[in-house]
């Protein structure tokens, strides 16, 4: 007979799965947290004495009942919800044995150690596959398991720059404050965690159909380049390198912020009908049928003419 906890777990989407989380900082923990949110039993392994790097990434810290800071950094808490945590020294023979035992009881192993580091301890995919053939094993690194940058450490900020994101983010170079900007949150890390989640779920589906495990090689730089989406496609179809547009949009006009008498507004006219309604409500109905602006391609071509008109105080 199942106990109450087991019965409740089995009612969740992934309540039948166990995940061994050997990751730290953000990309890997974010993937593991996604799986925990879906019901998986996630066991997070941390270093004795120090734990995950993000435990010290504060302030702010969680406060106790008396309003005093605890040692739980908000950053750590943001990526480790729903997990059980233990400390294991994987450099020791005893610690390696513990990890192998946990891996044999798990469906998924997540790790983000430097390339080749876990092989020294017999905890790489090939070693664990030998004792659990149906294991899904996901390695997350900055630049992948092979290639010229494989041995480099990968941080979100560096990858946002290398992967093209910062060349698209920030005010236009010809305006005050222009220049590259990173996103306000670690987009490369977070999206790598999301892509890893999808890959793990696909590998689990493959395992359930075939009985075979899978190895997943997930890299921050690969994900960052993929994230460029329409901007990457713009480059591939035109040969022109996309540039920064601040709060404006490369392919849609008007699609940006405008200053008003009591703050800023966001205008997102995603089609010609919305544009017509905007200029009518905004007090300049004559622009709705102006032949220079009646379609979005025309408005993109005439951006430098239309936007100053819309930004004029009498229409704001």
Contacts of 74 (CB under 8 A, 6+ apart): 58, 59, 60, 61, 62
The angle at the Cα of 203, spanning 199 to 207, to the nearest 5 degrees, equals 170
pLDDT (0 to 100) of residue 314: 52
Give the Cα separation of 214 and 128 in Å (integer).
Answer: 12
Whether the bond into 254 is cis, omega within 30 of 0: yes
Give the Cα separation of 279 and 237 in Å (integer).
Answer: 32
Give the Cα separation of 288 and 278 in Å (integer).
Answer: 9
pTM score of the predicted model: 0.89
pLDDT (0 to 100) of residue 10: 64
Tokens (6 digits) for 120: 């020294």
Catalytic, out of 41, 107, 189, 222: 189
255-315 fold = formyl-coa transferase, domain 3 (3.30.1540)
pLDDT (0 to 100) of residue 19: 98
Residue 141 host element (H or E): strand 136-141
pLDDT (0 to 100) of residue 212: 97
**CA 91 to each of CA 99, 139, 180: distance values in angstroms, whole numbers, following the listed order:** 11, 18, 41
- Per-run averaged pLDDT (10 residues), the chain, 316 residues: 53 94 98 98 96 94 94 95 97 98 98 96 98 98 95 94 95 91 96 98 98 98 96 93 92 94 93 96 92 97 95 62
CATH code for the domain defined by 4-226: 3.40.50.10540
Give the Cα separation of 103 and 128 in Å (integer).
Answer: 7
pLDDT (0 to 100) of residue 313: 52
**210: helix, coil or strand?**
helix
Asked if the domains 4-226 and 255-315 are classified in one and the same CATH topology, the answer is no
For the chain, the domains span 4-226, 255-315
Tokens (6 digits) for 131: 């004792």
5-35 pLDDT, tens digit per residue, is: 555 556 799 999 999 999 999 999 999 999 9
Backbone dihedral angles phi then psi of residue 71, each to the nearest 5 degrees? -95, 10
Whether 189 sits among the annotated catalytic residues: the reply is yes
pLDDT (0 to 100) of residue 8: 58
pLDDT (0 to 100) of residue 71: 87
């Amino acid at each position: 007979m199942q106990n109450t906890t087991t019965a409740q777990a089995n009612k969740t989407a992934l309540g039948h799965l166990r995940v061994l989380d050997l990751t730290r900082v953000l990309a890997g923990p974010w993937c593991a947290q996604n799986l925990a949110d879906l019901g998986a039993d996630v066991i997070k392994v941390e270093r004795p004495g120090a734990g995950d790097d993000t435990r010290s990434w504060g302030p702010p810290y969680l406060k106790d009942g008396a309003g005093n800071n605890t040692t739980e950094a908000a950053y750590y808490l943001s990526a480790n919800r729903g997990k059980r945590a233990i400390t294991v020294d994987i450099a020791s023979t005893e610690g390696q044995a513990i990890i192998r035992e946990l891996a044999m009881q798990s469906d998924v192993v997540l790790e983000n150690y430097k390339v080749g580091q876990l092989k020294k301890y017999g905890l790489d995919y090939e070693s664990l596959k030998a004792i659990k053939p149906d294991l899904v094993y996901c390695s997350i690194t900055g630049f992948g398991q092979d290639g010229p940058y494989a041995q480099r450490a990968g941080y979100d900020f560096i990858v946002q720059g290398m992967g093209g994101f910062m060349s698209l983010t920030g005010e236009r170079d010809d305006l005050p404050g222009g220049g590259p900007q990173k996103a306000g949150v670690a987009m490369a890390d977070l999206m790598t965690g999301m892509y890893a989640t999808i890959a793990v779920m696909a590998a689990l589906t493959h395992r359930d159909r075939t009985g075979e495990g899978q190895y997943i090689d997930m890299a921050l730089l690969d994900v960052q380049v993929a994230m460029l989406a329409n901007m990457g496609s713009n480059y591939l179809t035109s040969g022109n390198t996309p540039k920064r547009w601040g709060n404006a949009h490369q392919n849609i006009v008007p699609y940006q912020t405008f200053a008003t008498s009591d703050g800023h507004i966001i205008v997102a006219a995603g089609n010609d009908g919305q544009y017509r309604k905007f200029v009518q409500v905004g007090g300049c109905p004559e622009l709705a049928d102006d032949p220079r602006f009646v379609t979005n391609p025309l408005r993109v071509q005439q951006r430098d003419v239309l936007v100053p008109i819309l930004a004029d105080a009498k229409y704001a």
